[in-house]
């Protein structure tokens, strides 16, 4: 976010918080600490609820006079400063003064004490004009250096100029031309998989990647193109980003079988001469665990188109293991525990489809890929 806009936003946010959190304050404490703007807002807020509050009226009168003096002194200092962007400091000070005046206008008892002062609108517009001229001139100077780094900086100056005075001169056209000059054009060579059974799954993987890249473009000076787009537009790319699987395996199946003898004592086994007979019951309990493993290794490589040098390269592994468990038994069911009975009632699940397994093992690869793109292109 633009530093000037951020500063203004923080200031407005602070004023909003003050009006809410200091509803019962007359502003005297803030005044005594030398925070005159805060004291004004607190006094105004109190007087809107209690118009005859003497402490708040006195605080308002003194705090407003000191606040105005401080802002005017800072304006004088800024105007005579050699700092390049001193007019932006002037803008901030006039906007702060106008905010104070606006708050007083909405409070009848405050206006009786301070009077109906005019805003510093003309002075503010003059400061905006001066600040815009500085930003625009710097943008032109940097744009004429004819390199991407300078063009990026020039874009920020034109953007701020347009913020102060929308549509100043040809600033909108300059923003467009500067953006193009600052743009890093990257052709993305996607993963190619010819096996028909995985083609649709790979397309899903590719679409997710391009969705991410399109979102990334919105906050950067980078534009990603498919090879088809690059051919259609006939431009020379700055970089080529290549994605390819070194290897991948889908559906490696392993079945583990375990057999155990289970017993339970003191179980009623019958009746003899009218009396219950208790004994030990047995069963052969067999558990099955099926795992289906799928994995792959993606090669991520960025090449400088002009020099053909590899700028960065990384291998990104991904694995997904699907598991299924069930059981069976032979013998007396009463020998089984509650959990064993539950597992014995389960049946083997259908094997998952290959396209599902492919998509699942590419998920951790996708996370690594997006993280790498984020960190690598941050410097551009």
Q: Decide if pLDDT at 15 tops 80.
A: no
List the CATH code of the domain at 189-377: 3.30.160
Provide the pLDDT for residue 340.
Answer: 94
- What distance in Å separates the CA atoms of residue 46 and residue 53, rounded to the nearest whole number? 8
Provide the pLDDT for residue 269.
Answer: 77
Question: Which of 158, 304, 159, 151 lies closest to 241 in space, CA to CA?
Answer: 304
Rg, C-alpha atoms of the chain = 37
Element containing residue 292 per DSSP (H, E)? strand 275-304
57-90 pLDDT, tens digit each:
999 999 999 999 999 999 999 999 999 999 999 9
Confidence of residue 199 (pLDDT cuts 50, 70, 90): confident
What pTM was estimated for this model as a whole? 0.73
Coil, strand or helix: which one is 257?
strand
Lowest mean pLDDT among 81-85, 90-94, 197-201, 367-371: 197-201
Q: Decide if pLDDT at 1 tops 70.
A: no
Per DSSP, 199 falls in state H
138-166 pLDDT, tens digit each:
999 999 999 999 999 999 999 999 999 99
Q: What percent of the chain has pLDDT over 90?
A: 80
- What distance in Å separates the CA atoms of residue 371 and residue 377, rounded to the nearest whole number? 10
SS3 content of the chain, % helix, strand, coil (to 5): 55, 25, 20
316-329 pLDDT, tens digit each:
999 999 999 999 99
More confident residue, 197 or 230: 230
Provide the pLDDT for residue 23.
Answer: 46
Q: Which residues are CB-neighbours of 79 under 8 A, at least 6 positions away? A: 86, 90
Confidence of residue 16 (pLDDT cuts 50, 70, 90): low
- What distance in Å separates the CA atoms of residue 210 and residue 215, rounded to the nearest whole number? 9
Confidence of residue 341 (pLDDT cuts 50, 70, 90): very high
225 within 8 A of 188, measured Cβ to Cβ: yes
Cα–chain-centroid distance for residue 205?
22
241 within 8 A of 370, measured Cβ to Cβ: no
Q: Which residues are CB-neighbours of 243 under 8 A, at least 6 positions away? A: 188, 189, 190, 191, 209, 298, 299, 300, 369
Q: What ranges do the domains of the chain cover? A: 3-119, 135-182, 189-377
Confidence of residue 122 (pLDDT cuts 50, 70, 90): very high
Strand order in the sheet with 184-189: 222-225, 184-189, 239-272, 275-304, 310-331
What does the pLDDT average to over 114-136? 96
234 within 8 A of 187, measured Cβ to Cβ: no
Provide the pLDDT for residue 243.
Answer: 95
Provide the pLDDT for residue 10.
Answer: 55
Provide the pLDDT for residue 17.
Answer: 55
**372: buried, middle or exposed (CB in 10 Å: 19+, 13-18, 0-12)?**
middle
- What distance in Å separates the CA atoms of residue 237 and residue 185, rounded to the nearest whole number? 5
First-last CA distance in the chain: 17
Provide the pLDDT for residue 275.
Answer: 82
């Amino acid at each position: 976010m633009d530093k000037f806009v951020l500063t203004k936003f923080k200031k407005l946010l602070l004023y909003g918080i003050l009006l809410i959190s200091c509803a019962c304050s007359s502003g005297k404490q803030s005044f005594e600490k030398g925070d005159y703007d805060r004291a004004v807002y607190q006094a105004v807020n109190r007087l809107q609820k209690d118009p005859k509050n003497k402490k708040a009226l006195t605080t308002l009168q003194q705090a407003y006079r000191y606040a105005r003096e401080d802002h005017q002194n800072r304006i004088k200092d800024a105007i005579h400063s050699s700092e390049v962007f001193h007019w932006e400091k002037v803008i901030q000070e006039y906007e702060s003064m106008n905010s104070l005046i606006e708050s007083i206008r909405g409070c009848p008892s405050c206006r009786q004490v301070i009077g109906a002062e005019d805003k510093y609108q003309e002075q503010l517009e003059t400061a905006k004009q001066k600040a815009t001229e500085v930003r625009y001139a710097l943008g032109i100077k940097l744009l004429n250096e004819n390199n991407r780094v300078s063009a990026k900086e020039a874009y920020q100056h034109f953007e701020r100029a347009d913020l102060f005075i929308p549509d100043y001169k040809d600033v909108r056209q300059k923003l467009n031309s500067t953006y193009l000059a600052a743009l890093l054009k990257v052709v993305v060579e996607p993963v190619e998989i010819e096996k028909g059974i995985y083609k649709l799954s790979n397309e899903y993987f590719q679409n997710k990647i391009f969705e991410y890249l399109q979102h990334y473009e919105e906050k950067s000076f980078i534009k990603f193109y498919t090879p088809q787009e690059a051919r259609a537009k006939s431009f020379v790319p700055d970089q080529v980003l290549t994605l390819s699987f070194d290897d991948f395996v889908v559906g490696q199946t392993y079945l583990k079988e375990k057999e155990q003898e289970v017993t339970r004592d003191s179980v009623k086994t019958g009746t003899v001469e009218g009396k219950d007979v208790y004994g030990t019951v047995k069963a052969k309990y067999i558990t099955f665990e099926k795992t289906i493993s799928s994995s792959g290794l993606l090669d991520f490589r960025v090449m400088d188109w002009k020099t053909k040098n590899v700028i960065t390269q990384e291998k990104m592994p991904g694995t997904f293991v699907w598991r299924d468990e069930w059981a069976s038994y032979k013998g007396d069911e009463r020998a089984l525990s509650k959990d064993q009975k539950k597992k014995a009632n389960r049946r083997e699940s259908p094997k998952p489809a290959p396209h599902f397994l492919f998509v699942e093992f590419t998920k951790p690869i996708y996370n690594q890929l997006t993280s790498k793109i984020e960190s690598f292109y941050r410097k551009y």
